[in-house]
Amino acid sequence: MRQIVTFDAYGTLVDFQLGPTTLKLLADRLDLDRLNVDEFLDDFRIMRFHAVLEAYRPFRELLPASLEIAMRLHGLEYRQSDGEALVAAVPTFGPHPEVPAALRALKSRYEIAIISNTDDDLIAQNLANMGVEFDHVITAQQAKAYKPSRQTFEYAFQAMDIDPAQVIHVAQGWEYDLIPTRDLGLARRVWINRYGHNSSSGARGSADYQPFDELPDLSGLPALLGC
């Protein structure tokens, strides 16, 4: 039976250094000595999540708009160049160290695919950095919707011409991926809990959204899926 392993990209496969990159870009022109960094980055994360729940707009617009709100909440002067520089940095992010080998192992048995909250042109270089060819790449730009919307997943299944019961979804994002996929009838779901239960950047998870497997990274995924 045909099966596809679908992946969230940013955070799951790509080492999404958004927080450190944002701070580095802002520190080039702003004094951040008095900034509560953890609160600022948490607010930036929350603003991004709120933004994906609104009407669709390209990620290259959503990201700067979320940054602007977070900066204003913390009394920082926002400039258009801040958002532009952050968007330009996104394609430079490479994979987590274990990802390429895990993907190559999975390709021996499965089709592999991306379902990502991004624009086509932004993710192209991130995927090239992995050095592994994906059978399908589905973006929010194509679906005209962001995860956690069901529209994103339903578009992906239609585009891949696959029944959800033949899909194994693997993701780090709890709110974006694990919560909305509980009731989609997937074959299996795997939570890549890279950040543990005690980090502000991670999710605590919940038994209410079982069944799912939990791994700290992708290194154990091929064995889990029989490769």
How do residues 28-59 score in pLDDT, each as one tens digit? Answer: 889 999 999 999 999 999 999 999 999 999 99
What is the value of pTM for the model shown? 0.93
Which residues, including other chains, have CB under 8 Å from residue 146's CB and lie 6 or more apart?
52, 53, 56, 117, 140, 152
**Cα separation of 74 and 95, whole Å?**
31
How do residues 98-118 score in pLDDT, each as one tens digit? Answer: 999 999 999 999 999 999 999
Total number of residues shown for the chain: 227
Q: In the chain, what percentage of residues exceed pLDDT 90?
A: 90
How do residues 135-171 score in pLDDT, each as one tens digit? Answer: 999 999 999 999 999 999 999 999 999 999 999 999 9
Provide mean pLDDT across the span 17-37.
Answer: 94
The string of DSSP codes covering 15-33 is ---HHHHHHHHHHTTS--T
**Cα separation of 220 and 5, whole Å?**
14
Whether 202 shows a pLDDT value over 60: the answer reads: no
